């Protein structure tokens, strides 16, 4: 399996792999090892339909269902698109579009859920005439570049995550929608250690609404400082989408954001998230069940 670097700190393009051919024993172990090591994988010229997309995701773990069973027992796609019907695109000031604009904040998916995401698998379906890039940074590289005393403090810190918090930065009315208020706050450790490689990463997102044990303003100031450290220009990989592109990234070790596009044009990316399991370090980010003691 040939790879080429996307950024000096993280990410590789994987060559000569047809994602529809992967099985638990054929190529998936190599892809998974690259995922653990590099955090972001790009596959070009793929032909993933919905069934193939879901099958590829299922190799990594259970497909996330934010409807909590309301859509039925079978896994389904959860596409990122401004197309709301066969003949309509959402208006720029519609809540649907505003929610997509919320994805332009630096974030990690699903940190506000009781079980967060291990990975997002995103595939190009319909691309706009311009814009619509997706940007990534490595929170693993960012953590490694922090002064050791700050690293030690962050290993003991916990962040509180709330979906409505990020959406309130876009629209106060958007943040009031039931889809953003239906989950209780989730509290996760600020640092996630990869159980395979042992490397540590900041676990942070636009959904972080507080730092446990800190005054509100000071906590949010710390979060802003850390996000700014993670997203320095030289840390960013900007992905310019091409037809057939598939990206998969490690939600435990990256931040990402979408970029604007002409909102009167369709932009559709086929999307699923895969939920974290204990084998992926869920117990460690909860602060319990880790196989080794947390180190200062």
Q: What is the pLDDT of residues 252-280, one digit of tens each?
A: 999 999 999 999 999 999 999 999 999 99
Convert the pLDDT of each residue in 192-227 to its tens digit. 999 999 999 999 999 999 999 999 999 999 999 999
Asked whether residue 125 is assigned to any structural domain, the reply reads yes
Asked whether residue 258 is assigned to any structural domain, the reply reads yes
The string of DSSP codes covering 228-254 is HHHT-GGGPEEE---TT-EEEEETTSE
* CA-wise closest residue to 142 among 10, 285, 36: 10
Please report the pLDDT score of residue 72 as a whole number: 83
- Residue 165 to residues 28, 108, 112, 253: CA-CA distances in angstroms? 37, 13, 10, 21
| 262-271-237 Cα angle (round to 5) | 65
* CA-wise closest residue to 153 among 219, 208, 228, 197: 219
Please report the pLDDT score of residue 147 as a whole number: 98
- Average pLDDT taken over every residue of the chain: 95
Q: Say if residue 33's pLDDT is above 50.
A: yes
The string of DSSP codes covering 68-122 is TTTT-SS-----EESEEETTEE--TTSHHHHHHHHTTS-B-TTTTSSS-EEEEEE
**What is the band of 68 on the pLDDT scale with cuts at 50, 70, 90?**
confident
Percentage of the chain lying above the pLDDT 90 cut: 93
Asked whether residue 168 is assigned to any structural domain, the reply reads yes
Asked whether residue 9 is assigned to any structural domain, the reply reads yes
Q: Say if residue 124's pLDDT is above 60.
A: yes
pTM of the complete model = 0.94
Please report the pLDDT score of residue 287 as a whole number: 61
The residue segments making up the domain with residue 96 are: 2-285
> Rounded CA gap, 79 and 109, in Å?
13
Q: Say if residue 295's pLDDT is above 60.
A: no
HEC per residue, 248-296: EEECCCEEEEECCCCCCCCCEEEEEEEECCHHHCHHHHCCCCCCCCCCC
- Residue 156 to residues 40, 150, 208: CA-CA distances in angstroms? 27, 10, 16
Residues 138-148 have a mean pLDDT of: 98
- Give Cα 39 distance to the centre of its chain: 11
Q: Say if residue 289's pLDDT is above 60.
A: no
**What is the band of 282 on the pLDDT scale with cuts at 50, 70, 90?**
very high
Read off the CATH number of the domain in which 210 is found: 3.60.130.10
125 contacts: CB under 8 Å, gap ≥ 6: 79, 81, 268, 269, 270
Helix, strand or coil, per DSSP, at residue 136: strand
Residues 160-185 have a mean pLDDT of: 96
Asked whether residue 294 is assigned to any structural domain, the reply reads no
* CA-wise closest residue to 186 among 206, 167, 166, 158: 158
**What is the band of 71 on the pLDDT scale with cuts at 50, 70, 90?**
confident
Long-range contacts of 169-172 (CB under 8 A, 24+ apart): 169/102, 169/105, 169/206, 170/98, 170/99, 170/101, 170/102, 170/105, 171/95, 171/98
> Rounded CA gap, 40 and 121, in Å?
10
Asked whether residue 219 is assigned to any structural domain, the reply reads yes
Convert the pLDDT of each residue in 110-123 to its tens digit. 999 999 999 999 99
Asked whether residue 290 is assigned to any structural domain, the reply reads no
Asked whether residue 77 is assigned to any structural domain, the reply reads yes
Please report the pLDDT score of residue 265 as a whole number: 97
Please report the pLDDT score of residue 66 as a whole number: 86
149 contacts: CB under 8 Å, gap ≥ 6: none
Q: Total structural domains in the chain?
A: 1
**What is the band of 1 on the pLDDT scale with cuts at 50, 70, 90?**
confident
The string of DSSP codes covering 170-212 is T-HHHHTSHHHHSS--EEEESEEE-TTT--EEE---TTEEEET
């Amino acid at each position: 399996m040939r790879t080429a670097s996307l950024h000096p700190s993280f990410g590789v393009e994987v060559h000569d792999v047809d994602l529809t051919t992967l099985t638990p024993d054929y190529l998936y172990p190599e892809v998974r090892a690259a995922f653990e090591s590099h955090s972001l994988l790009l596959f070009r010229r793929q032909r993933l339909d919905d069934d193939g997309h879901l099958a590829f995701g299922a190799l990594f773990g259970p497909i996330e269902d934010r409807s909590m069973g309301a859509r039925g027992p079978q896994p389904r796609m959860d596409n990122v698109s401004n197309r709301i019907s066969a003949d309509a695109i959402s208006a720029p000031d519609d809540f649907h579009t505003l929610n997509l604009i919320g994805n332009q904040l630096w974030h990690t998916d699903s940190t506000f859920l009781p079980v967060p995401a291990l990975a997002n698998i995103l595939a190009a379906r319909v691309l706009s005439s311009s814009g619509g890039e997706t940007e990534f940074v490595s929170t693993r590289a960012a953590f490694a570049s922090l002064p050791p005393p700050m690293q030690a403090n962050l290993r003991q810190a916990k962040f509180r995550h709330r979906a409505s918090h990020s959406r309130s930065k876009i629209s106060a009315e958007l943040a009031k929608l039931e889809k953003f208020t239906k989950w209780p706050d989730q509290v996760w450790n600020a640092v996630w250690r990869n159980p395979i490689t042992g490397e540590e990463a900041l676990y942070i997102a636009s959904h972080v609404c507080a730092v446990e044990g800190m005054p509100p303003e000071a906590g949010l100031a710390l979060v802003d400082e850390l996000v700014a450290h993670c997203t320095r220009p030289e840390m960013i990989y900007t992905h310019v989408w091409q037809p057939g592109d598939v990206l998969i990234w490690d939600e435990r070790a990256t931040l990402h954001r979408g970029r604007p596009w002409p909102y009167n044009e369709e932009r559709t990316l086929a999307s699923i998230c895969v939920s974290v399991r204990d084998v992926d370090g869920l117990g460690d980010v909860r602060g319990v069940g880790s196989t080794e003691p947390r180190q200062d």
